[in-house]
Amino acid sequence: MKRRFFGGIHPSYRKELSVKATPSVAVIPKQVVIPMLQHIGVPCVPLVKVGDKVLRGQKIGDGDGLCVPVHASVSGTVIAVEPRPHPLGKLVTAVVIENDFQDTTVRPSESCGNAEDMDPDTVLGLIREAGIVGMGGAAFPGNVKALSAVGKADTLIANACECEPYITSDDTLLRTNPEQVLRGMQILSRVLQPKRAILAVEDNKQEAIAKVNGLLSEYTGIELSVLPTRYPQGAEKQLIQALTGRDVLPGQLPVSAHCAVFNVSTFAAIYRAVELGVPVTSRIVTVSGEAIREPQNFIVRIGTSFHDLIEVAGGLNDSTERVISGGPMMGIAQSDLSVPVVKATNSVLCLLKDRNGAAENPVCLRCGKCVSVCPMRLQPLYLYRFEKAGNAGELERLHVMDCIECGSCAFTCPGKLPLVERIRSGKQLLKEAKSK
Ligand code: SF4
Ligand code: SF4
């Protein structure tokens, strides 16, 4: 039975701007900047120094604890190891490599091969060594997430909802390389042994759906679930609710609802790591928005600057107002286009001035629309009000920390209240109050 998650909205999707038959290969940049932090957790320690020669795929940073390695995405010479701007808006230590344009590549890992012949620890080890993180934007280390679901998840979910407007990188992957995704699902299914393995896609990706449907008979044990398009269906908790009817309780992880959710790009990376022995050195990135001259998808080397990528896409329109890493609803606005594409960068979005932007005198009309669309069943108007009043106790009582910052409330608010900004600062207020 098809269910749907609570709340949600229908923004203008604008995906037609960037959908092309095949992604063009981006111009390989003269220089790449590889940040030592591209995952949630502890930053890598650089393993190379200025003057070192490196090969494509060579490990150039690694560390202990919640950490996965990073690899050179081109062959060449290390010209700097220093703090550089990062799409998260801070300075992060990075290895800067001058490209020799030879693309000399390291030999694939010796333990790679047919996953059917491997034990689960070997598979998880290969996933770690390839530097795989959640490539839908979450950037959580893939091996740690998979290990935490062993023996607990009865449902493995491949997330191809890509519900944010404009972004078509997962759609492009499914249209061009669906086999990699399906094989990645089979590989992880061998580790997790779920009862069901579901590839979830929204019904606005008909070509991808047809491609996957045509292959399913060759990949036993995998189901395709086509969901009605609705934002934010790609958020883990909402997707689990839509597919299984199960709720992930506040503060809990998907595994508490016996589910493990990975983005489809992550599954493709798992296939390449385990069976080909290839680490993450590139990914598909959507470059789109009304402010870019030639919107499309590119296969981009990790470490390519947003500036270089934008140039390959024809450059920015003169009236560009914002460049965002990610989508318009949950992405991060960038002030410095020297920031590099990292493993979790699915989109570089270039937008014109929003004619329906913030009102000069925002006012709450008490219409209740924000409450009806909030997928976390929160009361955004009260979160707004109590943040303004500096009332941490009420913010906690109203579960401000459960907000996934999806922006559905602000999108739908006729009073144009800056709800998400206020809720974000409400979270900070509560954290500070608790730390006293
Ligand atoms: S949608 Fe906006 S105007 Fe309506 S109740 Fe919520 S905050 Fe107030
Ligand atoms: S309160 Fe948070 S979770 Fe709810 S709609 Fe607004 S941004 Fe989304």
Which of 253, 227, 248 has the alpha carbon at shortest distance from 238?
248
Residue 283 has pLDDT above 90, yes or no: yes
Over range 171-195, report the average pLDDT.
97
Q: How far is the CA of 378 from the centre of ligand 2 (A)?
A: 7
Which ligand is located closest to the Cα atom of residue 413?
A: 1
Mutate to test the pocket of ligand 1, among 365, 373, 416, 421 (most ligand atoms within 8 A of CB): 365
Q: What angle do CA 340, 283, 375 make, to 5 degrees?
A: 90
Is 420 within the bounds of a domain?
yes
Which residues touch 400 (CB under 8 Å, ≥6 apart)? 378, 383, 387, 423, 426, 427, 430
Is 69 within the bounds of a domain?
yes
Would you state the pLDDT for residue 191?
A: 97
Ligand 2 binding pocket includes 401 (Cβ within 6 Å) = no
Residue 1 has pLDDT above 60, yes or no: no
| Cα 283 to Cα 195: distance, rounded to the nearest angstrom | 30
Q: How far is the CA of 380 from the centre of ligand 2 (A)?
A: 7
Q: Could you give the number of structural domains in the chain? A: 3
| Cα 150 to Cα 383: distance, rounded to the nearest angstrom | 37
Q: In terms of domains, do 253 and 118 share one?
A: yes
What per-residue string of b and e applies to 100-120 under the rule 16 or more CB within 10 Å gives b?
eeeeeebebbeebbebeebeb
DSSP code per residue over 134-195? -TTTT--BHHHHHHHHTTT-SEEEEEE---STT--HHHHHHHH-HHHHHHHHHHHHHHH--S
Q: Which residue's CA is the closest to the ligand 1 atom numbered 1?
A: 413
Q: CA separation (Å) from 252 to 234, 236, 237, 257, 402?
A: 17, 11, 10, 9, 10
Q: In terms of domains, do 222 and 206 share one?
A: yes
Is 219 within the bounds of a domain?
yes
Q: Look at residue 225 and give its three-state secondary structure.
A: strand
Q: In terms of domains, do 176 and 116 share one?
A: yes
Ligand 2 binding pocket includes 9 (Cβ within 6 Å) = no
Q: Look at residue 3 and give its three-state secondary structure.
A: coil
318 band by pLDDT with thresholds 50, 70 and 90: confident
Q: In terms of domains, do 154 and 289 share one?
A: no
Would you state the pLDDT for residue 358?
A: 60
357 band by pLDDT with thresholds 50, 70 and 90: low
Is 10 within the bounds of a domain?
no
Q: In terms of domains, do 230 and 285 share one?
A: no
Ligand 1 binding pocket includes 415 (Cβ within 6 Å) = yes
In this structure, of 93-107, 161-175, 354-368, the range with the lowest mean pLDDT score is 354-368
271 band by pLDDT with thresholds 50, 70 and 90: very high
435 band by pLDDT with thresholds 50, 70 and 90: confident
- The range of the structural domain enclosing residue 389 comes to 369-435
Mean pLDDT in the chain? 94
The number of angstroms, rounded, from the C-alpha of 275 to the middle of its chain's C-alpha atoms is 23
Atom of ligand 1 nearest to the CA of 384: 7
Residue 355 has pLDDT above 60, yes or no: no
Q: In terms of domains, do 189 and 337 share one?
A: no
pLDDT single digits (tens) 216-228: 999 999 999 999 9
Q: How far is the CA of 406 from the centre of ligand 2 (A)?
A: 5
Q: How far is the CA of 137 from the centre of ligand 2 (A)?
A: 18
| Residue 16 or 27, more confident | 16
Ligand 2 binding pocket includes 277 (Cβ within 6 Å) = no
Residue 95 has pLDDT above 60, yes or no: yes
Which residues touch 99 (CB under 8 Å, ≥6 apart)? 28, 29, 30, 31, 32, 74, 75, 76
Which ligand is located closest to the Cα atom of residue 364?
A: 1
Residue 2 has pLDDT above 60, yes or no: no
Is 358 within the bounds of a domain?
no
Would you state the pLDDT for residue 247?
A: 93
79 band by pLDDT with thresholds 50, 70 and 90: very high
Q: CA separation (Å) from 201 to 56, 161, 284?
A: 33, 5, 18
Is 9 within the bounds of a domain?
no
DSSP code per residue over 5-28? -SS-B-----GGGT--SSPEEPPP
Over range 313-325, report the average pLDDT.
94
pLDDT single digits (tens) 119-136: 999 999 999 999 999 998
Residue 356 has pLDDT above 60, yes or no: no
| Residue 362 or 190, more confident | 190
Ligand 1 binding pocket includes 19 (Cβ within 6 Å) = no
Over range 303-312, report the average pLDDT.
96
Q: What is the CATH number of the domain that holds 207?
A: 3.40.50.11540
Choose one of 352, 381, 406: the last residue of a domain. 352
Task: Write phi, then psi, for 321 (nearest 5 degrees).
Answer: -105, -40
The encoded tokens of residue 191 equal 């580790």
Q: In terms of domains, do 255 and 190 share one?
A: yes
Which residues touch 27 (CB under 8 Å, ≥6 apart)? 308, 312
Ligand 2 binding pocket includes 371 (Cβ within 6 Å) = no
Is 389 within the bounds of a domain?
yes
Q: Which residue's CA is the closest to the ligand 1 atom numbered 6?
A: 370
Choose one of 352, 382, 410: the last residue of a domain. 352
Choose one of 257, 275, 293: the last residue of a domain. 275
Ligand 1 binding pocket includes 83 (Cβ within 6 Å) = no
Q: In terms of domains, do 150 and 211 share one?
A: yes
Atom of ligand 2 nearest to the CA of 406: 8
Would you state the pLDDT for residue 7?
A: 94
Which of 190, 196, 261, 254 has the alpha carbon at shortest distance from 223?
196
Ligand 2 binding pocket includes 406 (Cβ within 6 Å) = yes
Q: How far is the CA of 366 from the centre of ligand 1 (A)?
A: 5
Would you state the pLDDT for residue 32?
A: 98
Over range 239-257, report the average pLDDT.
93
Would you state the pLDDT for residue 311?
A: 95
Q: What is the CATH number of the domain that holds 293?
A: 3.10.20.600
Q: In terms of domains, do 416 and 393 share one?
A: yes
Q: In terms of domains, do 183 and 227 share one?
A: yes
What letter would DSSP give residue 261? Answer: E
